[in-house]
Amino acid sequence: MLQSKFTRIALILLFLTGIGIFADEGMDWIGSFSSGELEMSDETEDQDTVYYLWQLESLKKNIAPRYIRYLDVESYVSSGNLLHRGILFTYNGLRDESVEICGSFNNWECSEMKRNQYGIYYTVIEPNQIKDNYEEDPVYEYKFRVNGLLTYDPENFDKVEDGSGSYYSRFILDSKDTDRQTKTMVLEDSANEERDLRTVKFQIYLPNAEVVRVVGNFNDWNPEHDFLKKDRKGVFTLEKKLLPGEYHYQFIVDGETMLDTYNPTTNIKVDTNESVSSLLVPERNYALERKM
């Protein structure tokens, strides 16, 4: 077991070395949270940009909230999740003993924020207010609790009176950066269920794409087998029958290979040293009902 864990770490380090994370230019790589250029920017990050946990730990200035995706090698070893995504909130608390965040996303319960070496408190909140009707952008209302006292976010210009002479801050998760279009999943039921097989629904929101295919160890990584169908909202979908087990896969979007954007579980494909998305298809734990 221990040897397997060390093997996984070695593969990750090899992968990260291959993409230049440890290169001298890593700290100046475009999108680095340690760069002054990004810290001055209030624009929402491109959803295809992936950051690293060390960039959050190297942040020297609090910034306005934004949606990000990042890689966390340490959590991958214990959980199998390498890719994470959510809304980054920060607060400059160099002289403060504790900073928490309280908001509509956690029923206004206050959660602790991590403090980096520069006194910047940060946390990444997973998007959990996605509406199925795709019509409204979810609104995240929040305050910071600093040394026991509530205050609004000084870096966020979007604030609303709270009725008690102060303000709460707001962040609206723009449609282009949300996972409102539902991620790949194992369905509990579908039109044609089979006893030994489970129905997996692959889906991804790519309104500007023309052709999307899925490749994986379930189809020998053959790009000619499984094409997804696009609906009017820009969501590509495909349902497949698969036996229970663990599967690795990628999407091919207009000829370019990419991970499943909103599946946080990833792995390393050993023969090519590529990152791949992972999906566990469990055994069915209930009896099938006979359909009329």
pLDDT, position 9:
52
State how far the Cα of 128 lies from the Cα of 239, in Å rounded to an integer: 24
Q: Terminus-to-terminus CA distance in the chain, angstroms?
A: 48
pLDDT, position 99:
96
Distances, alpha carbon 291 to alpha carbons 172, 187, 193, 229, in Å: 43, 16, 9, 26
pLDDT, position 134:
46
* Helix (H) or strand (E) segment spanning residue 12: helix 2-18
Output the six-digit token pair for 39.
């810290």
Tokens 């609790």 found at: 145
- In the chain, where the domains are located: 47-177, 185-281
pLDDT, position 19:
41
CATH no., domain 47-177: 2.60.40.10
CATH no., domain 185-281: 2.60.40.10
Strand stretches in the chain, DSSP E: 51-52, 66-71, 83-92, 99-103, 110-112, 114-115, 120-125, 139-146, 149-151, 159-161, 167-172, 185-186, 198-205, 212-216, 229-230, 235-242, 245-253, 256-258, 266-269, 274-281
Domain 47-177 and domain 185-281, same fold? Reply is yes
pLDDT, position 215:
94
Full-model pTM = 0.53
pLDDT, position 113:
96
Residue 210: DSSP 8-state: S
pLDDT by residue, tens only, the chain of 292 residues: 555 555 555 555 544 444 444 433 333 332 333 334 344 344 444 445 677 888 888 889 999 998 887 888 777 666 666 777 788 999 999 999 999 999 998 889 999 999 999 999 999 988 765 444 445 567 899 999 999 999 999 999 999 998 888 999 999 887 544 444 457 888 876 667 777 788 899 998 888 889 999 999 999 999 999 999 988 777 899 999 999 999 999 999 999 999 887 787 888 888 888 889 999 998 877 656 554 4
Q: Where do the H-state alpha helices sit in 163-262?
A: none
State how far the Cα of 262 lies from the Cα of 285, in Å rounded to an integer: 26
Phi, then psi, of 236 in degrees rounded to 5: -95, 135
> What residues are paired with 2 via a beta bridge?
none
Q: Among 45, 33, 39, 41, which Cα is nearest to 174's?
A: 45
233 dihedral zone (left: phi>0; alpha: psi -120 to 50; beta): alpha
